[in-house]
Amino acid sequence: LDVGNTRLTAAVVNGRGETLAHWEQANPRAEGAAAGLAALQAMVARAREQAPEAAAIGIGFGGPVDLSTGLIRRSHHTSGWEGVALAEVLGAASGLPAYLDNDANAGGLGEALFGAGRGVDSLLYVNVGTGIGGAVIIGGHIHHGAHSNAGEIGHVVVTLDFGPVCTCGKLGCLEAWASGDALGAAARQAADEGRLAGSSLAATAAEDLTGRSVATAASAGDAAALAILQTAGRYLGVALAAAANVLDPALVVVGGGVSEGNPPYLEAARQSFAACATPPVAAGTAVVPALLGYQAGVVGAAAIALQALNAVE
């Protein structure tokens, strides 16, 4: 199960990370956590009808999870999730063992076991969507850290004392510079400051200046949109290099809707990564696109359960 901010996704996944069935529905987030929980229980019931031999439930949750207690800390978009023991509740209702982690950790483990990081012992994973999440995989396992907070590369500050305000309240976080929402905000600021003359974005209404519209304009050759993308990508590379200089991972994997199908963004990140990483890391650690695409969430969630059961094939 992948519990996203806008969508709930379920899949039946085998021990090789192959998706045998896959479906999704809108997250009823306006109705609060209870409605989301009921929807997830119905999805589990449907999955069990399709796969009576299912051995476990893996859950990737779009928000911070306290791994020491198994409780959700919060959802940034839906009220009522604070303190919910999601794995325990779904496990008790289904009679199956259930395993929970946050969605970025799930995505990172999925890439490590079944995607771009297959065969690699350590990797740094970043998911660039509306926000920026990340995961650290060491020895083939998620590194959670002392406070279940490892991998939060989106809240690495890349510009001290200046820069856009992040969703977390700080100035200059990577997420505020390089996420999909940040691309939209940068385009709106450029419009406000009259810097979009000659750009196709100049004719776009402010509320339609989003990460997607910037990426679309850039791929059509729009210079202003391309500059916004490249600035964002450069900040991503700076943060990735800082993390890689500390961790020395074998690989850096970049996934999520903003980076996928957006070569100038990833290329800008690669260039600043090469400039900021120490020589052995710059030479030895490749920055590669994720492979699992839109299935990363559910395959990653399954990976958590498969690894816990020692059932990865």
Minimum CB separation of residue 165 from Zn ion in Å reads 9
Q: Which residues pair with 24 in a beta bridge?
A: 9
Q: How far, in Å, are 26, 83, 96, 221 from residue 313 at the CA level?
A: 32, 34, 20, 44
- Residue 173 sits in the site that holds Zn ion (CB under 5 A): yes
10 φ/ψ angles, rounded to the nearest 5 degrees: -125, 150
Q: Which stretch binds Zn ion (CB under 5 A): 81-89, 94-102, 147-155, 190-198?
A: 147-155
Q: Is 52 exposed, middle or buried (0-12, 13-18, 19+ CB in 10 A)?
A: exposed
- For Zn ion, give the closer residue by CB, 173 or 226: 173
Minimum CB separation of residue 176 from Zn ion in Å reads 6
- Residue 155 sits in the site that holds Zn ion (CB under 5 A): yes
Per the CB < 8 A criterion, the answer to whether 292 and 107 are in contact is yes
142: left (phi over 0), alpha (psi -120 to 50) or beta: beta
Minimum CB separation of residue 166 from Zn ion in Å reads 3
- Work out which of 72, 128, 137, 166 binds Zn ion, going by CB under 5 A: 166
Minimum CB separation of residue 126 from Zn ion in Å reads 14
- Residue 84 sits in the site that holds Zn ion (CB under 5 A): no
What is the C-alpha to C-alpha distance for residues 217 and 214, in angstroms, rounded to an integer?
5
- Give the residue ranges of DSSP H helices in the chain: 33-50, 86-94, 103-114, 174-178, 180-192, 211-219, 223-247, 263-276, 279-284, 296-308
Q: Which stretch binds Zn ion (CB under 5 A): 88-96, 121-129, 144-152, 168-176?
A: 168-176
- For Zn ion, give the closer residue by CB, 173 or 299: 173
- For Zn ion, give the closer residue by CB, 144 or 155: 155
Q: Which residues pair with 135 in a beta bridge?
A: 125
- For Zn ion, give the closer residue by CB, 157 or 227: 157
What is the C-alpha to C-alpha distance for residues 151 and 122, in angstroms, rounded to an integer?
13
- For Zn ion, give the closer residue by CB, 21 or 168: 168
- For Zn ion, give the closer residue by CB, 71 or 171: 171
- Residue 168 sits in the site that holds Zn ion (CB under 5 A): yes
With contacts defined by CB under 5 A, how many residues of the chain interact with Zn ion?
A: 5
- Residue 165 sits in the site that holds Zn ion (CB under 5 A): no
- Write the CB contacts of 156 (distance below 8 Å, at least 6 apart in sequence): 173, 174, 239, 242, 243
Residues making contact with Zn ion (CB under 5 A): 155, 166, 168, 170, 173
